[in-house]
Every structure is written in C-alpha cells, then in structure tokens.
Amino acid sequence: MKGELKKILLVEDDPDIRVIVKSALEMLAGFEVRACSSGAEALSTVEEFAPQLALLDVMMPEIDGPGVLARLRERPATAALPVIFLTAKATPQESERLRALGAFGVLSKPFDPLTLHEQLRTIWEKTGNG
Amino acid sequence: MDADEFKRQLEALNAEYRAGLPAKLAEIDALWTESPGDGAALLRALHSMAGSARTFGVKGVSEAAAAAEHYLAPFCESGTEPKAAQRNEFERLLQELRRVAAGGSS
C-alpha cells in the first residue's frame, strides 16, 4: 500500500511499552494504531486491519518478533508488509541479523517517544512506499 | 495534540509506571521464590523491566534489572541450576533492584 503512512500494527508484549508507543504514535502523528500483546494476536488480526507497516518487538513469549515476520512472509496478503523491529539489543550484529530476515528497519529501546513517529516516517519513506 | 500536551500525558504515564513498580517487583519475587524452575519467565520479567524502566526514565531501576537479567541469562541458556553461592549472588542483585526501586532512583 503506497502513500502517506497512516495505519500501523504494533506488536509488543510489555503493556507499559505498548501504551507509550501507541499513545505517542496516535497523539503526536495521528496514526491509526492497532496494538497487539502477542504474535498470535497480531497474526489473527493483521489481514482484517490491513496495516501499511508493522512494528514488532523482538523478544516475546511463544512467537517472537522474527517468528511473526516469518509467518507474515508466508501469507500472500502480508508477504510484502514492511516490518520494523523494536529491540533492547540493537547491536550492529543483531540489527544486521534482523535486516537479513527481511526487516526494513531496527529501532532500539529505550526510544524517545517524542520522535518515534519521525523515525518511523523516515524508514517508511526509505521503503519506497512514501 | 501538540508536543507539550503529549509531554503532560507522558508525565502521567511515567507516574503510573513508577506507582506500579512494587507490583512488578512482587511478580519477579514470586517467579524467583515460587517457580524457581521457570527461569525463562523470570528472565522475561527482568528483561521487560530493564527495557520499560529506561523508557520511562527510571535509569537506576533499568540498570539493576539488567544486571539481574544478565546474571541469570547464562543459567537459562545452558539449562543449569545455579549453585547456592550463585543463588545468593542473584538474591543480592534482586535486593539491589528492590532498593533502587524503593528509592525511586532515576
């Protein structure tokens, strides 16, 4: 889906981080954000919500971020969905590993809630969708 | 909504987070004392606190949680049970986490 970034799927198991990310993206940028607390919830809602971008936590129980990405790539409707990972371990090696899995970007925790939406827009534009 | 208004919302979320720290610590204590075999859940809880505390500006709590997480991680990865001295060291790290959280260290 090309054009201005509006709809984001957020997958984050930590409720505190989930609230702050959702609030920041909705209040500061006016994005429509669907927040999911698990990979399974995200996979059950992604096709109905039809996001333009998915923001995935890496370390989650049961299905982790890379696991969600792999399943998205298996489905025709979400195979090309741009994915950005949010991780507390954003070392160069880890970032490279996540990009090699097909991520469009890797953002590190802690993040600045005031500028998170700008970081997402910057990556979005680099995907060629903007 | 402008940035100033969001900053006020952020302050409210920060206050809510700090008020919820004792309950999170109680969960970590319970995982350690009541489910010693479930190291993965304890590791996740510490990892979560390390990440969220830093995001909410409670740096001391984040660092203390990360120290406990990093001490525990090798045992979880290798599947080995910590020995008595190692358990004592982990207890000490948890005590430090409680101390820092009680002081509201940032």
Are A49 and A74 spatial neighbours (Cβ–Cβ below 8 Å)?
no
Residues B25-44 have a mean pLDDT of 86
For residue A16, the chain B residues in CB contact (below 8 A) are: 13, 17, 20, 52, 55-56
Domains in chain A, number: 1
Instruction: Assess whether pLDDT exceeds 60 at residue A1.
Output: no
List the alpha helices (DSSP H) in A30-75.
39-49, 65-74
CATH number at residue A111: 3.40.50.2300
Q: Is residue A78 part of a domain?
A: yes
Q: How far apart are CA B66 and CA B43, in angstroms?
A: 10
| Cα–Cα dist B16/A67, whole Å | 32
Confidence of residue A120 (pLDDT cuts 50, 70, 90): very high
Q: Is the pLDDT of residue A48 over 60?
A: yes
In a domain? residue A2: no
Q: The domain containing residue A111 runs over which residues?
A: 7-126
Distance CA A130, CA A69 (A): 21
Of A16, A116, A77, nearest to B16 (Cα)? A16
Residue from the list B6, B55, B56 with its beta carbon closest to the beta carbon of A28: B6
Nearest-Cα residue of chain A relative to residue B40: A61
* Predicted confidence (pLDDT) per residue in B18-32, tens digit: 999 999 999 999 999
pLDDT in tens, A74-108: 999 999 999 999 988 778 898 999 999 999 999 98
Chain segment B83-106, per-residue pLDDT in tens: 899 999 999 999 999 999 988 555
> B2, B6, B24, B49: best mutation site toward chain A, by most A Cβ within 10 Å?
B6
- Chain B contact for A67, CB < 8 A? no
- Domains of chain B by start residue, with CATH: 3-102 (1.20.120)
Q: Does A83 map to a domain?
A: yes
Rounded to two decimals, the pTM is 0.84
